Amino acid sequence: MRRPSLPIGSLLPRLLAVVFLLDLGLRLLPTKTFCYRGWEALTVNLEFPKLHFSEGPFKRHKTYSNPRTYGDLSALSNLPDRRHYRNETFVTDEFGYRNPPGLTRQEPVSAVLLGDSFVAGAGNSDEFVLPAALRKKSGVVAYNAAGDLPRSLQDILAPVEAAGLREGWVIYEHLERVEKPFKLEGPRERWKIRFWKKFFPLLGRENGLWARQIVSHRFAVSPVKILSAKFLKAFSDDRFFPNSYAKSTVQKRLVTGDVFLFQPQEIEKFHTDRSALVAPWKTFFLSLSEELARRNLKLMVLLVPEKYTVYEPLLGRGTAAGEKPLYLDALGRELKAGGLPTVNLAPLFRQKAAELASKKIYLYWPDDTHWTPLGISLAAGEISKILAPDPAGPAARLERK
């Protein structure tokens, strides 16, 4: 006798219950199980407020290791053939920043680095990130407080206090794509932020930190959603189904023959007149410099060009577009005229990119938004000229310490 099939009205709730239980169970696994690089595995949900100044943008006391990580742009556009695999080790300290644990207790810090994923070293292993490169170049101990762009003066001062910096440099990364500066007093807090700020401290500091991590990461990250996206991408390969993700990036071939991936917005901004942003950013950095000077701290501005800005002259279109005046050049001139120590990486990077192109040596990963170890090393060399202009070299500086 034929068994009656379950009606849709009964099947659907059961299916949803199974998916819910599966998602709940998978949340008990480490997030890194589902991630292809350390940035996604260790970043906390920044929608939730910090309970204490020492909280960084990453999980505390964690290590992520992957011998086959690859670029964010190849992942975003679902282009496995464009991946450039490399090893990555990503270690966080007791504050949730990307530093060796106990760094601030082992030796005095001379500088604090602020910025986004570039300075934090996304896509690269710990031995190549900017603080490590600075130490090799100059012997200076720099604390990596990057990972989330500051939104207020307190966001700038908090990691400075965590690093124990009483006198020295605050190096502020300004990425070319960033638009208007924020107000130093900070934005108005949303109701969600105000609620969590009142709730978490009731548990005590350590319990509050633990609860915040559970809520901000275990509940905010859905393993089923991640696995579903991976499943869809596996079949959206232009063989089974069209790759709708490909439009997330732009593929361009350099004169070397290699294909680079770019973000559409960086190309658009390169061809847009952004000179109106120079004055607001100059005013912002001058104000920030004054605030830091009151605390015996010196500001250095690091101007970071987009990948497209660096490699646009090497696209081989036979135009004069490469001679276009650059936004970062104009901003750098104004900041230096205002007496601010400024490192503008755009001219050096464009020059080095052209010189090294014939050898197919690159400053940015072809499949990623970010620098290669060589790009990081060049940036460290330029910073070191201001940070520690000592002709005796790093070895002598380390001996004097």
Whether 8 is covered by a domain: the verdict is no
Give the SS3 label for residue 359. helix
The mean pLDDT of 208-234, rounded to a whole number, is 64
The mean pLDDT of 75-88, rounded to a whole number, is 95
The answer to whether residue 391 scores a pLDDT higher than 90 is no
Listed range (37-46, 55-64, 192-201) with the worst mean pLDDT: 192-201
Residue 136 to residue 150: CA distance in whole angstroms:
27
Whether 123 is covered by a domain: the verdict is yes
Question: How, if at all, do strands 111-114 and 142-144 pair?
Answer: parallel
Whether 95 is covered by a domain: the verdict is yes
Which structural domain range is residue 325 located in?
Answer: 30-400
The answer to whether residue 132 scores a pLDDT higher than 90 is yes
What's the confidence (pLDDT) of residue 115?
95
Phi/psi for 67 (5° steps) reads: -75, -10
The answer to whether residue 303 scores a pLDDT higher than 50 is yes
- At 111, the pLDDT band (50, 70, 90 cuts) reads very high
Whether 3 is covered by a domain: the verdict is no
Whether 177 is covered by a domain: the verdict is yes
The answer to whether residue 12 scores a pLDDT higher than 90 is no
The answer to whether residue 238 scores a pLDDT higher than 90 is no
Average pLDDT taken over every residue of the chain: 83
Whether 334 is covered by a domain: the verdict is yes
What is the b/e burial string over 27-44, where b = at least 16 CB atoms within 10 angstroms of the residue's CB?
Answer: beeebbebbbbbbbbbbb
Whether 57 is covered by a domain: the verdict is yes
Whether 22 is covered by a domain: the verdict is no
Instruction: Give me the CATH number covering residue 236.
Output: 3.40.50.1110
Q: How many domains does the chain have?
A: 1
What's the confidence (pLDDT) of residue 9?
62
Q: CA triplet 372, 373, 376: central angle to 5 degrees?
A: 90
Half-sphere exposure of 207 (CA within 13 A, CB side): 6
Centroid of chain to Cα 4: 56
Q: pLDDT per residue over 244-288, tens digit each?
A: 889 999 999 999 999 999 999 999 999 999 999 999 999 999 999
What's the confidence (pLDDT) of residue 319?
46
